[in-house]
Amino acid sequence: MATFLPTFSTPNPLSFRSKSLLLHYNKRFTVKCNAAPPPPLPPAVQTFWKWLSDEKVVSSNSPAKPGIVAEGLGLVAQRDIGRNEVVLEVPKKFWINPDTVSASEIGRVCDGLKPWISVALFLIKEKLREDDDYSPWRNYINILPEYTDSTIFWSEEELSEIEGTQLLSTTLSVKEYVKNEFLQVQEQVILPNKKLFPSPITLDDFIWAFGILRSRAFSRLRGQNLVLIPIADLINHSPSITKEDYAYEIKGAGLFSRDQIFSLRSPIPVKAGQQVLIQYDLNKSNAELALDYGFIESTVDRNTYTLTLQISDSDPYFDDKLDIAETNGTKAVQYFDITLGRPLPPKMLPYLRLVALGGTDAFLLESIFRNSVWDHLELPVSRDNEEVICQVVRTACRSALSSYRTTIEEDEKLKGGDINRRVEIAIAIREGEKKVLGHIDGIFEEREKELDEYEYYQERRLRDLGLVGEQGDIIFWEPK
C-alpha cells in the first residue's frame, strides 16, 4: 500500500528569500495624536544616524530617515516621495556580508564556514565587544533588536499556543538545526580561538544572530545572496502593496567607478511624514511570515498547509513509480502547498493516483505506457484508485484536525479578547491551518460523492476505440 504522510515540509532553514527586513525595536512606541510632533528617537538610533551622516551615506536632505512607527522603527518620509523614487543609497563599504567577515579579524577562522554562520559570528563578536574596544559597526549593532516576535524567540508557554500546527514543527526543526550548527562551530572555531572570541558565546547569542539574519537580510541581489544593509533594513512591510516590484537593486556607483551601491526605491508614492514601505514577499505563507519576521497578514491566501505525499520504499512498484515521478518533475517524497480558497496544485492529483496505483491498474506502469502514463494520470484511472485517494486524504485531514487544542469556533471567540501579539499570531496560524484542512477535506468529500459520475481509463479507452455508444453503453458486434 502506498504511504501518505500528512506532515509538514520543513523549509530550508537558510532560505533567505526575503526582501528587506526590519521588525521591532526592543521597546514599542505609540503615537497618541497624529497632530503631535513625532516622539524623539532613542539615543542609539540618533547616534546611528549621526554616524551615517558623518560618513556621507545620508544627510538632512535625505528623502527618508528613521522614525518611530507602529512596528517600532521604520523609515519615514521627510518630504513627498514619488513612485520608484530612490529613497536611500548605501555604498558597499557599509554592507555586512561574507566579504565583510573575510576582511575582519575573524576572517581567517571563518574561511570555509557556511556564509550565514560566518556572518552570525561577526554580528555576535561585534555585539559582545567591550565598550573600550571601539568598532564603527557598534553604531549599527546597537540599534538591532534583542528579539522579534518570530516564533524562534517564543517561550515554551507561547509555543504551546501553536500546538498541532505545522508552524510549531517547523520552528522546532529550525531551532534544532541552529543548535546543531552552533555546537559544531563552537567546537571547531569558537573554543579553539578564545583570543578572537574572549567573551562566552551562548546558543541564545547564536539564535539571536540567526533571527537577525532571517528577518533583516536582503537576498536575490546581483552577486549577493546574503547581505545586511544598515539603514535600508529599517524598511517595513505593507500588505496593501500587492505588486512585488523590486524596490531595491545593486548598481555601480558611477560611470567610471568600480564601487557598488545598494539602491532602495519606494514602490508607491509617499507623503511627507508617512512611512516608506515595501512588499517583502508575496509568496510567503502566514507561517513563513511568523517564522521569519514575527507578523502575519489577515489576507486569506496567506493561509497554506503543506501536504507531504510519498512513494513507499516497500511499494512493489517503487522503481517504476519513482521513474515516472521524476520524469514528470516530482520526487519520491513530494510536498504540495495548498492555499485556502484555491484549487489543488496541478500535479497533486496525478501524483496521488500514481502513489495509489496498484492491483488491476498496475498495467499502466509497464514500459509501453511510460511516455503517456502521466497523461492518463491527469484523469481518474479507476473507481478503486480514486476512492483510495479520497479516503486517505480525508482521513489524514481529520487526523491533523484532531491534533489542535482548539476548534475554529473557539479561536474566533478568543480573537475578541485581551491578548498579546504572540497569542494573536498563534490563534491566526492555527485557525488558518484548520480552515485549509477543512478546504482540502471538502474538495475530496465532493470527489468522493462523484465517484460514480467520473469516466475512468477503461471507459475512455473503449470510447477512443469507438466501442461506447452515445448513452455510454458498450457496443458489441455479432458475426453475421
Which residues are annotated as part of the binding site? 71-73, 216, 220, 233, 236-237, 248, 280, 293
**Joined grid coordinates for residue 94:** 557599509
What's the Cα-to-Cα distance from 368 to each of 256, 320, 349, 433, 460, rounded to whole Å? 63, 12, 22, 42, 18
Cell numbers placing 109: 577562522
Check if the beta carbon of residue 424 is closer than 8 Å to that of residue 416.
Answer: no
What is the rounded distance in angstroms from the CA atom of residue 134 to the CA atom of residue 144?
A: 17
Nine-digit cell at 453? 459520475
Neighbour tally for 477: CB within 10 Å: 6
β 260-265/86-91 pair status:
antiparallel
For 220: left if phi > 0, alpha if psi spans -120 to 50, otherwise beta; the answer is: left
- CB distance 92 to 260 below 8 Å: yes
C-alpha cell read off for 85: 523614487
The single residue of 134, 177, 246, 280 carrying the catalytic annotation is 280
Could you give phi then psi for residue 310, rounded to 5 degrees?
-145, 140
In 166-200, which positions are buried (b, 16+ CB within 10 angstroms) versus exposed (e)?
bbbbbbeebbeebeebbeebbeebbeeeeebbeee
Binding-site residue positions for S-adenosyl-L-methionine? 71-73, 216, 236-237
The answer to whether 159 and 152 are in contact (CB under 8 A) is no
Residues flagged as binding site for substrate: 216, 220, 233, 248, 280, 293
436: enclosing H helix or E strand: helix 421-449
Question: What does the buried/exposed string (b/e) look like for 20-58 if buried means 16 or more CB atoms within 10 Å of the residue's CB?
Answer: bbbbbbeeebeeeeeeeeeeebbebbeebbebbeeeebb
Catalytic residue check, 177: no
| Positions marked catalytic | 280
